[in-house]
Amino acid sequence: MDIEKIKKAPVALAGCDDYDREKVYETVKRLLTSIGTCEGTFKGKRVVLKPNLVAAKDPSAAVTSHPSVVDAVTRYVRECGASDVMIAESPGGSYTEPFLSRIYDATGMKELSENGGPRLNGDFTSVSVKFAEGKKLKSFEVLTPVSNADVIVNIPKLKTHSLTGLSCAVKNLFGAIPGFQKFEMHAAYPELDDFSEMLCDLDLALYRDHEIVTVCDAVFSMEGNGPTHGSPVFTGMLMASASTYALDVVAERLAGLGGTTRYLDIAAQKGLVERDPDKIEVVRTGDAPDAFKLVLPDSKKPNSFSMRLLIALPNLLGGKFSRFFEPSPKINVGKCLGCSNCANVCPAKTITMKKKKGKKLAVIGRKNCIRCFCCQELCPHGAVDTVKNPILKLIR
Ligand code: SF4
Ligand code: SF4
């Protein structure tokens, strides 16, 4: 895909106040038409849909992309003549059966597929991709159906994220990397800046080989301890763009996280996007609300958010001293059920399972913890809390 096109891509917005199938379909159609994504993009093409299916949660939890949005995109791309439409996603944790089937089932994707919706990927192989142009990421593994697709329709959920602050279009493509290799990437890039640079490289690498369009589900978004343990919040909007970066700059402002997302700073430094949302062309369609009046200044941020603010202040307290200030994960002994999920996914291998008072519990070895919050993201029981440095508590 032409990088110059990405740099200039507008972001389309439309109001949508619930997940009624027809309403969402009409809105998605209007959005995609308004940014010129139509027959020319999809005719005769193999299309992969990449929703956010990070965990086996009901759509009402606002953890995953809503089936109505996936359904709307499927209908539209088929009408535009796509030769094949398939969902491909590597959720948090294992990328194998029966884990993936449980995710498809809980998130409503199985039902959607069985009722004439998109095919569900069941191919667990991956393809190695070289990206010599990448600053951090020189090669990586990508799901085979993603690699084989002509067009990727990226369908993120607008959410907060304990590590990156924002989880939306750019971060959603991280799920094109299979299973536990995502945790290896966390281990390889333990510093937020390096991880953020890697995310920018990954999107660029996927853009090099594919047409990508993003349709963001922000009817209900997630605030608080995202991406899996926050709360649903009504934002009443669907968004679309050919640029993951531009969409995220607008989404960041909407989420009340304006100017704090490191991967967007880095994308702007690379000249991929305007960092100031006022400089991004916004196309309002139909009854589109004014996105910039919909900013949620009181929305709940992740508990780790103060640190994100510190890191965002150039060279002030980040860098050298950042580790001292960083919030860290803590096992909530009362909630931990000893399932070992966190120990299995921890990229730093610093969680051990121990028996205490006859109960199996996770224990975090602080010294090697890289504060990636994968344990919090993937604990099915919400048993990983965030502990903040006392100074950060004052700053927040
Ligand atoms: S994933 Fe959660 S419940 Fe399971 S062992 Fe870890 S902290 Fe305990
Ligand atoms: S303990 Fe949690 S935050 Fe620390 S490295 Fe392991 S998964 Fe990441």
Domains of the chain as residue ranges with CATH: 3-293 (3.40.50.11440), 305-395 (3.30.70.20)
Residue 11 tokens, joined: 């972001």
| DSSP character at residue 281 | -
For residue 327, which ligand has an atom nearest its CA? 2
| DSSP character at residue 380 | T
pLDDT tens by residue, 124-168: 999 999 999 999 999 999 999 999 999 999 999 999 998 999 999
Taking a C-beta distance cutoff of 8 angstroms, is the pair 128, 23 a contact? Answer: no
330 lines ligand 1 (CB under 6 A): no
Q: Where are the beta strands (DSSP E) in 193-245?
A: 211-225, 229-241
- Testing ligand 1's pocket by substitution, the residue of 330, 359, 381 carrying the most ligand atoms inside 8 A of its CB is 381
pLDDT tens by residue, 364-396: 999 999 999 999 999 999 999 988 766 555 554
Residue closest via CA to ligand 2's atom 5 equals 369
pLDDT band at 357 (very low <50, low <70, confident <90, very high): confident
352 lines ligand 1 (CB under 6 A): no
Distance 374 CA to ligand 1 centre (A): 11
Distance 161 CA to ligand 1 centre (A): 19
Residue closest via CA to ligand 1's atom 4 equals 339
| DSSP character at residue 242 | S
Q: Using the atom order of ligand 1, give the atom closest to the CA of residue 340.
A: 5
Average confidence score pLDDT of the chain? 90
176 lines ligand 2 (CB under 6 A): no
| Distance, CA of 171 to CA of 157 (rounded, Å) | 10
pLDDT, residue 316, reads: 45
Task: Inform me whether the pLDDT recorded for 315 exceeds 50.
Answer: no
Residue closest via CA to ligand 2's atom 7 equals 346
First to last CA, the chain: 41
pLDDT, residue 314, reads: 46
Taking a C-beta distance cutoff of 8 angstroms, is the pair 295, 335 a contact? Answer: no
Residue 331, amino acid: I
Residue closest via CA to ligand 1's atom 6 equals 342
Task: Inform me whether the pLDDT recorded for 87 exceeds 80.
Answer: yes
pLDDT, residue 392, reads: 57
Of 39, 4, 50, 25, nearest to 213 by C-alpha is: 50
| Distance, CA of 204 to CA of 202 (rounded, Å) | 5
Taking a C-beta distance cutoff of 8 angstroms, is the pair 281, 6 a contact? Answer: no
Of 85, 75, 82, 64, nearest to 25 by C-alpha is: 75
| Distance, CA of 6 to CA of 206 (rounded, Å) | 12
| Distance, CA of 9 to CA of 32 (rounded, Å) | 12
DSSP letters of 297-340? TTPPPPTTHHHHHHHHSTTTTSGGGHHHH--EEEE-TTT-----
| Distance, CA of 376 to CA of 35 (rounded, Å) | 37
CB atoms near residue 206 (< 10 Å): 24
92 lines ligand 2 (CB under 6 A): no
pLDDT band at 310 (very low <50, low <70, confident <90, very high): low
Cα-atom radius of gyration of the chain, to the nearest Å? 20
| Distance, CA of 9 to CA of 208 (rounded, Å) | 16
| Distance, CA of 351 to CA of 343 (rounded, Å) | 5
Task: Inform me whether the pLDDT recorded for 301 exceeds 90.
Answer: no
Residues in CB range of 350: below 8 A, 6 or more apart: 364, 365, 366, 367, 368, 369
The pairing of strands 157-161 and 211-225 is: parallel
pLDDT, residue 322, reads: 57
Higher pLDDT, 89 or 287: 89
Q: Select the highest-mean-pLDDT range: 60-69, 133-142, 284-293, 297-306.
A: 60-69
